[in-house]
């Protein structure tokens, strides 16, 4: 396993800039970022299987997802509903996971994305360890990508 926090950040930044035309700022490349936005947290997750088994989580506040969804769907932010936000985060998570998968030798499958949302929740993948984590901000609001590897 040779993916680093820097690799995850570059994937996230590439997707954000090329697909959405939005600019992310580096907010450190490791450690824990407080992820408690007042408007609620959203987490997208995809599972990777094959030669590598694990998951990718993309976490950010609803306002970050709303800004991304407005760009993705070319509509004003006020015209988006909850389903649009879930669709956008699912697609962004799928893009991040797909890019990660290509860098992991032998990885063959990427699951459909799952989106979790709320004001107070945690996401855990049993029998796995964090192998890389990156964080960034969009207009001062946090985003985080976590790569987990299953114990084998």
Q: How many domains does the chain have?
A: 1
Tokens of 123: 């996401």
Asked whether residue 3 carries a pLDDT value surpassing 50, the answer given is: yes
Predicted confidence at residue 142, as pLDDT, reads 86
48 Cβ neighbours under 8 A, 6+ residues apart: 54, 55, 56, 97, 100, 101, 104, 107, 109, 110, 111
pLDDT in tens, 47-81: 999 989 999 999 999 999 999 999 999 999 999 99
Whether the pTM exceeds 0.85: the reply is: yes
Residues of the domain holding 66: 5-150
| CATH classification at residue 112 | 3.40.1550.10
Predicted confidence at residue 42, as pLDDT, reads 94
pLDDT in tens, 12-35: 999 999 999 999 988 654 455 556
Tokens of 111: 């699951």
pLDDT in tens, 84-143: 999 999 999 999 999 999 999 888 899 999 999 987 877 888 899 999 999 998 988 889
């Amino acid at each position: 396993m040779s993916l680093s926090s820097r690799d995850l950040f570059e994937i996230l930044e590439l997707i954000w800039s090329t697909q959405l035309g939005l600019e992310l700022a580096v907010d450190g490349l490791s450690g824990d970022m407080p992820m408690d936005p007042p408007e609620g947290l959203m987490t997208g997750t995809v599972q990777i299987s094959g030669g590598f088994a694990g998951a990718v989580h993309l976490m950010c506040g609803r306002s970050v997802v709303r800004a991304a969804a407005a760009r993705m769907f070319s509509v004003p932010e006020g015209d988006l509903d909850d389903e649009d936000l879930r669709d956008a985060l699912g697609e962004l998570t799928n893009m991040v996971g797909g890019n990660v998968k290509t860098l992991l030798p032998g990885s063959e499958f990427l699951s459909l994305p799952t989106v979790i949302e709320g004001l107070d929740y945690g996401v855990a993948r049993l029998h796995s360890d964090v192998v890389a984590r990156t964080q960034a901000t969009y207009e001062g609001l946090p985003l985080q990508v976590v790569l987990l590897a299953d114990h084998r």
